[in-house]
Amino acid sequence: MEIKVPAVGESVYEAVIARWLKKSGDVVSKDEPLCEIETDKVTLEVTSEADGVLTTLAAEGETVKIGAVIATIDARGAESAPAAGAAASAKSSPAAAPAAEAAPAKTAPKGAPPPISPSGRKLARELGVEPQDVQGSGRGGRVTREDLLKAEGAGPAPAGGQPSVQAQPAPAVKSEPAPAPPSRPAPSPSQEAERVVRKPMTQIRKRIAQRLVSVRQQTAMLTTFNEADMSQVMLLRQKYGEHFLKRHGVKLGLMSFFVRACCEALAQFPDVNARIDGDDIVYHNFCDIGVAVGSDRGLVVPVLRGAESLTLAGIEQRIAEYAEKVRKNRIAIADLEGGTFTISNGGVYGSMLSTPILNPPQSGVLGMHAIQKRAVVVGDEIVIRPMMYLALSYDHRIVDGQGAVGFLKLVKEYIEEPEELLLEG
């Protein structure tokens, strides 16, 4: 049976074998993941379509066309594989390795330098003593500092067998010491390879780089900021969180509140929900909200279709489903396409404040940040409240400053008084 690169979208024509989860000769089961492939949009797992023995035909890092055969599965080989495995196991048993048992005891080869520490070798060079000429008195014959000092002061015995009175070298000799060795020797090729690692960019990272550069070059992006008091949202989550989880099977998070707040604000500020198409502005009478999800291979933005009609529970369930797909590399191109507005939560990584970048061709992206307790003025009093900085990046070609500020202010108001959102959801 042939394993082919699956079609993942109309605009995707090739993929890269990111890594093999199984290797040639492995026995695999139906629906077991075989490898991960990367396109410029997603990372996917290719699974086995039958039980059998795998033979890979493409190497890791190789670029392959959609529909290309990258492996085969021999269903007939599955029966003989266990016997082969048993034979291999027998070869690795103790009875099969007499040569290893007959190996001689560990002894230093004749003429080999005695054991000595790095500091000892340095001292030996400074004293001009050859370690192999020194009889070590330490454990296992190790040459100690005292051994080196004794060897330096010994020198050749005088005639008549009497010990030398002057054991130390003359001061004149000390005035011209041998040049000290370099403090850090030049690294060997293997050490140099460890210091610098070069890896090819993944297809997703290449695509991200291209899109980010194009945003800077082709949009008039600006960012406006505000802050929101998260007290009421946190209170509602604490008060109703357990009931919400039991009823809907998913936790009540922050993102659902922000998605609902953005949908309400987008209805009143349609420019933020629009895009440029040639010389036209295309307005959307719906809210397909992209929610940025981080992965070990890059940022992906699955889209919540028709978010304006979703409840808080519906939003949290969709987000949980997408997060699971991303974790298992099962996200599809269709899950990422489209979108009229994006929300990015840098606060989960500890970000205090940032300027999120647009997701073209959208004209707006909201950045959430970490919640921190700060002193704020409420009425005429200074109080401590959990505050979050909010950032709206927008395309100034479509959205003017007044609309951007008004949109972000309305989001702030919904977050600070979320009862209406909760009652509707």
Extract the runs of DSSP E, i.e. beta strands, from 201-325: 221-229, 275-277, 280-282, 289-291, 293-295, 298-300, 303-304
The tens digit of pLDDT for each residue in 203-218 reads 777 877 887 888 888 8
The predicted structure's pLDDT at residue 77? 61
Lowest mean pLDDT among 23-27, 121-125, 341-345: 121-125
Confidence of residue 31 (pLDDT cuts 50, 70, 90): confident
- Report how far Cα 380 is from the mean position of its chain's Cα atoms: 46
Report the CATH number that the domain containing residue 346 is assigned in CATH.
3.30.559.10
pLDDT of residue 242: 94
Indicate the pLDDT class of residue 122, thresholds 50, 70 and 90.
Answer: confident
Q: Which of 85, 109, 135 represents a domain boundary (last residue)?
A: 85
Confidence of residue 159 (pLDDT cuts 50, 70, 90): very low
Q: Average pLDDT, whole number, for the chain?
A: 81
| pLDDT recorded at residue 12 | 75
Lowest mean pLDDT among 87-91, 128-132, 181-185, 317-321: 87-91
Q: What is the mean pLDDT of residues 101-107?
A: 43
- Asked if 288 is an active-site residue, the reply is no
Q: Mean pLDDT, to the nearest integer, of 80-101?
A: 47
Residues 265 and 404 in one domain: yes
Q: Is residue 360 part of a domain?
A: yes
Q: How high is the pLDDT of residue 134?
A: 77
CA atoms within 13 A on the CB side of 323: 11
Region 86-104 average pLDDT: 45
Is 142 within the bounds of a domain? no
Q: What is the mean pLDDT of residues 29-51?
A: 85
Number of H helices, E strands in the chain: 13, 18
Query: Taking residues 97-103, what's their average pLDDT?
Result: 43
CA atoms lying within 13 Å on the CB side of residue 112? 9
The residue ranking higher by pLDDT, 136 or 2, is: 2
Domain end residue (candidates: 60, 85, 110)? 85
139 φ, ψ to 5°?
-65, 130
Structural domain tally of the chain?
2
> Does residue 310 register a pLDDT over 70?
yes
What per-residue confidence (pLDDT) applies to 249?
94
Query: Are both 74 and 212 inside the same structural domain?
Result: no
Instruction: Tell me the average pLDDT across 53-61.
Output: 90
Structural domain for 34, as ranges: 2-85
198 vs 94, more confident: 198
Instruction: Check residue 265 and give its pLDDT.
Output: 96
The question of whether 396 is a catalytic residue gets the answer yes
Would the pLDDT of 91 be above 60? no
Q: Catalytic residue among 31, 133, 243, 400, which?
A: 400
Residue 329 lies in a domain: yes
Q: Is the pLDDT of residue 9 over 80?
A: no
Is 312 inside a domain boundary?
yes
Q: Express as a percent the part of the chain with pLDDT over 90.
A: 44
Q: Is residue 147 part of a domain?
A: no
68 within domain boundaries: yes
Residue 160 confidence class, pLDDT cut points 50, 70, 90:
very low
pTM equals 0.63
Q: How far apart are the first and last CA of the chain?
A: 49
Given a contact cutoff of 8 angstroms between Cβ atoms, the answer to whether 25 and 187 are in contact is no
**At residue 317, does pLDDT exceed 50?**
yes
Nearest to residue 346, comparing CAs of 366, 320, 323, 364?
A: 366
Domain identity same for 207 and 79: no
Cα–Cα distance, 298 to 205 (Å, whole number) = 6
Residue 40 has pLDDT above 80, yes or no: no
pLDDT at 135 over 80: no
Residues 152-167, mean pLDDT to the nearest whole number: 47
153 belongs to a structural domain: no
Of the candidates 31, 133, 243, 396, the residue annotated as catalytic is 396
The predicted model gives 67-95 an average pLDDT of 63
Listed range (119-133, 179-193, 402-416) with the worst mean pLDDT: 179-193
Selected residue with higher pLDDT from 12 and 91: 12
Confidence band (pLDDT; 50, 70, 90) for 150?
Answer: confident
Tokens of 97: 């390795």
Last residue of a domain, one of 85, 113, 130: 85
pLDDT of residue 90: 47
Domain for residue 344, yes or no? yes
Residues 6+ apart with CB under 8 A from 375: 382, 383, 384
- The span from the CA of 264 to the CA of 341, in Å, is 13
